[in-house]
Every structure is written in structure tokens, then in C-alpha cells.
Chains A and B, each alone.
Chain A
């Protein structure tokens, strides 16, 4: 007979680890599946085994993750690393690949924390060799200690400046920072100033980063627009406009970034309700204050639930786990309320702060909705704006119809890269709100899966708890 876990958590970032710790404190049987070799998520990637001599150059927001990771490693939790979840069923069934095999487990409740991804940056030449996202550059730095001298960082948002600062602290040269944050950011963000002032430490941290970059003498082009990557077969530079003048800067590596958005492949494949967030300009699962989704036994925490950052994810993880404990009968409503109150308060303050950041760093329309026919939208299937436009004109008005007609979004990334662009393009062409246009219907597997893995099934069961063994 299949033994059933009380709670399965997908993803061991700050949200997933906090949820697991909270549930373990109640003695629930918890299993955590994480696709990486070590827990930490993107933010605390390899924090307990950094390849860098001095990981503190990456900043305290990185090194402070070590405490959480260690607590997670010591708690009474079933942990599975290198476990790539590719299907979650409405019956609590979770299928995942590990060691070239398909494993199956069942849980009463699920908390999923699939994290964020970088927002697509569909400009001319963004597909050329030498162009990467700034996030990928950071992954290479955190996990392998690899960097690239003389690159251009282009785009907007706090993560971009953080990575530039990390590079500079390591003595790596940076050719230029091309900042696309539109002018008038403070004006746009003014109405949310209260939220910003609630987190003075974050504001100061942000200002320090900008100052650090300025002091290092890196050329910073502010309010840049109309970006395009130069080069035929590989990137050789970046062209852009500033104050009405066209500039171009040479570099064979260009790191693009315009903020992060929820990684939707899992929540979409589950068929959860989503909505278009005008504040964050992205699709977001529709959730209650505890992270509960439209599917009764599945909660979403962390950046996949809407971009809030690592510290908010810790509170969200705790909140979701508390509600699950209440649902499993491990605590009554009054206790749920009293244990949640501080986390809810913290979440509200993070949300207020986020409204300020989102307004200030709103990615410009021009860099989200490409207009040039030759610009690539779907990198896997090499579909350009012009080809999609032709499909649209042939009657494919819905992302799924467009996908079926043009193959856009059918490649190995399953629309991760082009999904938001396609929704926004179709909305633009029809002068409709994005919410009415919708998104791709996603399918299993949520990651590539070999025929070998699929053909081998193995059942995973909870280990008996020590207390149950002695009883």
C-alpha cells in the first residue's frame, strides 16, 4: 500500500525550506524535492560550498542564506536533491526524475516553490552567441566561479546592479552599464514612497550598489532606449539611444536583464488560476494570503507566487505551512491566526516596498513588446515577430492557436522564454487587455524527460517517524 506524506514541497529555496522547517516543527511527515544538487534555490545557490575564496564579496543577502540552509539540512525532513519534478497530479501524486528513473510519491498537501526566471528581453540580436541573461552570468559565478571580462550589462532592476557590483568587487572589468530605467522613475514611484520608506535598509543597500558602480568608473548610460545587439553571427556590441543620440559600445559579451517574473511552467501545467499583474507586468498565480491556490491542496510560495524576494519568501513559506498544518488538523483556527499574524504583517510590508520598486523599475514597453519583424521571439523554434504576425493574421488569435500554427513555444523550453512576449504581442495586436488573451496551455512533462526515465517507475514512501516506531 502506498504510504502518504503529509506534505510534499517542491523546491528548496528560501520559501520551500522555510515551509519545510515550519511543518517539521509540527511533526508532520515532510518530503522536499529539489532539482539542484544542494539546497538554497537560485538566491542561496551553493552558499554552503561556494567555489569562491571569499563568498562575502557576493553580499550579505547571499551569505545570510547559509544559516537557513544549515537549519534545513539538520531538521527531520525527507530531502531529495537532483530530483526533477515533471508532473503533479490533482490527486497529490508527484512524478519526478532522479538517477535516470521516474519516481512516484503521494502527499496530502503540496507547497510548490518553483521560483522566478528572468523576463524575456526580445530585442534585435538577443539570440546571438555572446548574449546571455545577467542571471545566467550570476549562476556561473555562484556555482563555478566563472566570470567574463569586458562585458556590457544592459537593462534595469536591482539584480542587474547587484551582479555588476559583484563583478567589480572581484576585480572583473565591465565595459558599460546601459540602464534602460526610463526617466522620471521617482515620479512614477512617488505614490508608493511610504512602502519604500518602510524598508530603509533595502533602499540604502540599493543606493550603495549604484554608488559602488559609479565609483568604479564604469561608464553608465542612463535612460537608454531602442537597444539592439550588433553582430551577424555573434555579438560584437550594443547599440542604443540616449538623449536622442545613437551610441554603440563594443563588447563580445552582453548580459541582459529587465527584472524577474514567476516561473510558470509548473503552476500553468497544474491548471491553476492565474491573473495578469499590471503592477509587475507578468502572469501570477491567483492565491490567498497563505499562498493557497485555486487547487484545494496546492499552495505556491516564493517568487513563483509573484516577485517579492528571498526574505518575503521565508515568511510566505511559513504561512503556507501553517495553513497546511491547520488543514491537516495539527492546530486549531485560533492558533493559526496567532502564529500567522507577524508573518502576514511582514508580507504586507514587503508588498508595499515592492510596489515602489515595481513602479521605479517598470520595464519599458518597447523592450517587452518587439515591433521589428526580424526580432526573434521564440528562440527554440526560431520564430520572429513577422512570422507570428503572419500566423495571427491567418486567424490564430489565442496563444495556443498561434503555437499550433507557428510552433512558437513548442521547443524544449516549452514557452518559458516566449510566453509573456506572445501574450503581450497578441494583446497589443488586438488592443485587448493581456488578461483576455491568456497564456499557453502547458503540458507535462515540466522538464525534458527521457524515454528511459519514463519507462522505469519507482515508488517513494515516507520513513516511519521515530515516535511512531517506539509507539
Chain B
């Protein structure tokens, strides 16, 4: 079968790329070895965060954030996005100092989306915060979305635009013959002019088949969610110097993250949890928010996520093959970038360039370094 473009991986980036390609008149096939949104894109914390982004990511993240505000209308499906603001809490003067210097740094680059708040304002925004918290930093446009819904919204919009999704089909081999890619799966063989690697925690394997080596690793960031609680927190909450992260959804459930990692068994699509670390996350949460002592945990889980050594993604053209592109390695913060990355890849394919500086995201950026 012939397609203009073949995308490997049905996560949010694969689905969004397919959507943008289709809108540009490029007929795409998405191959997903499990089902769309099965891994990190479906089970992440749903954070839509501009606050605290690496400087290299800020332009992309800002553009993505603008798009999130109207994404439901654009895709004509509910992504679960809610603009709630995000506050990172400071517990001492050192934290407040970090906030000030970061804000100065952003100001020099012309950005003003992070704003410092004092203790009184912190308390107004988060009345249940522990008394020893002294202030924080807020980004107003931030919020959350429902990961599986958002990924699924892209898939549905892409399908309406003519994209074909094949689930439960895994790539066995890739070959570039002339200008074309020949892709063999466990079910069929396809020909496509363009190949795009959006395979998340498996992206290094796909990259190798495309001729690009990349020092990708994978892990299992853990989450837990409570049963419904009385409403006590509007904003999404993080901390400057502690592993704290939580958000209360509209139905009252509270999702607790914080970056603690479990164990990833990528070959078997499995993760196992590290309960001692989750116990620590529970401890941290109730220290910052004493009301959480009463919280009851309903479920704990981990997703399989890809990490780059510098925690920055790979976005851009392949270096050792023609008509090859990559978008992966988002290091546990790629969900928010979904609405922009697919468009950037589409711009690269259709015009050969993009207005964003992608130098920090080159796949070969580590080839010159000793790791």
C-alpha cells in the first residue's frame, strides 16, 4: 500500500503530526503497535505547563499554550483542557531568590509569562497551603487536559481529514529504496515517501532502523489519584525545590505526581511501582497541604516515557537518511507540546523550514559529546 507519509507511533505527537499533514494535503498512515494513546500519551499527568520550561523550549511551549486555549474548537472534540494557572511554591528565601533570577532571565529574552507572588497572594490562591510556604511563581495560561481524551481528539480529527490509523501493528523493518521508504510490519508491507518517528519510549529502536543513533533512555514516572475530595485547589500545584506536583480535577479527584520513577520493562510493555518512593510523595503532599492527610488513594500507576540525557526532546529531520523526521524523547514533558510539534514537522516536510530554532533538539547533538 502507498502513502505519502508513514508515522510510527500513535501517541499525541504521532496523532497531531498526522492531523497537520492531512490538513496540508499529505496522506498519512499511522502505525501503532498497541492502541492509540496506550503509553505515555494516554496515562501521563495531563499537565499543560509553560512554567519553568527550559529556555530552548519556551518559544515552542508558548505557541503550544496559545493553541491549547482553543484546541477543543479546532479539533471539534473535548480534550478536557482547563485553564487553571500553575503555581510553583517557594518554601524559603532561597526558593524566592531562584524565582527572581529566573524571571529576570526570562525578561531579558522578552518573556513575561512567569510572575512572582508573595505569601499573601499564595494563600489567596491556595488557601490550604501549609503556613511555612513563603510565596511562589505563577503562570496564568497553564492548566491541565485529560491525556487520553486529548490524544484521541487528535486521532479523530486526523481520521476526519483522511488519515489512516492501524493499531496492533508493529514495525519489523525499514528500508530506504531510492527516495521511498519500504516499511514491513507483522501484517503488511507499505511504501511511503516520508517517514516520521514518533515512537516514544521505543524511538531509539526506530531511529536505529532509520540510520540515526540516539542516546535515549526510558523510565516509568509514577502517579497516584485519590477518590473525590471537597474542592480545595483551583490551580495546578508544583514546588521550586521539592518533588511536589498535584492537581485537583473538577470531579474532586486529586492527581499526585512529582516525578518519582518506578521500574520500566519496555520489552513487555510493563511497569512496576516503587512504593517507598510513592510513600515519600504522599508524605511531601501532606506536608505542603495538610488537608491531603484525609485523601484516599484510589489508583497508582506508571507510564513508559522516553528521556534524553539533557531532558530536551528530539524534533527535526533525520541526519543519516533523506525524507526522515523525528519527534520523540520529550522526557516527561511532551504532552503540552503536542499541538505545536505536529505542525512544526509538517512545516519542515512541506517547506523545508520552520520559524522555530530547532538546534537544541537535533538528534545528533550528543554525537560530539562524551556522555
Contacts and interface: CB of A to CB of B under 8 A. Distances in A.
A362 B30 CA distance: 43
Contact of B298 (A87, A89, A102, A411): A411
Contacts of B273: 87, 444
Contacts of A448: 227, 296-298
B42 A404 contact: yes
Given A102-B279, A271-B270, A395-B36, A451 B285 contact: yes
Contacts of B227: 411-412, 448
A274 B296 CA distance: 29
Interface in A427-458: 443-445, 448-452, 454-457
A90 interface: yes
Interface in B22-58: 35-38, 42-43
B35 A394 contact: no
A90 B272 CA distance: 10
B282 A398 contact: no
A395 B30 CA distance: 14
A462 to B, nearest CB: 21
A401 B293 contact: no
A443 B152 contact: no
Interface residues of B, number: 40
Contacts of B165: 395
A455 B227 CA distance: 17
Contacts of A132: none
A148 interface: no
A230 interface: no
A395 B156 contact: yes
A414 B42 contact: no
Nearest to B153: A394
B328 to A, nearest CB: 21
A449 B296 contact: yes
Contacts of A95: 275
Given A412-B227, A455-B286, A405 B298 contact: no
Residue with the highest number of chain B CB atoms closer than 10 Å, among A90, A405, A414, A456: A405
A188 interface: no
A234 interface: no
Contact of A401 (B35, B297, B298, B299): B35
A443 B271 CA distance: 11
10 nearest CB pairs, A to B: A404-B148, A455-B283, A455-B282, A454-B282, A451-B295, A449-B297, A451-B282, A443-B301, A443-B299, A448-B296
Interface of A: 87, 89-90, 95, 102, 271, 394-398, 400-401, 404-405, 410-412, 414, 443-445, 448-452, 454-457
Given A454-B282, A454-B297, A457-B276, 6 more contacts: A401-B38, A443-B301, A452-B286, A454-B275, A454-B278, A454-B279
5 contacts: A87-B275, A400-B38, A405-B152, A411-B298, A412-B298
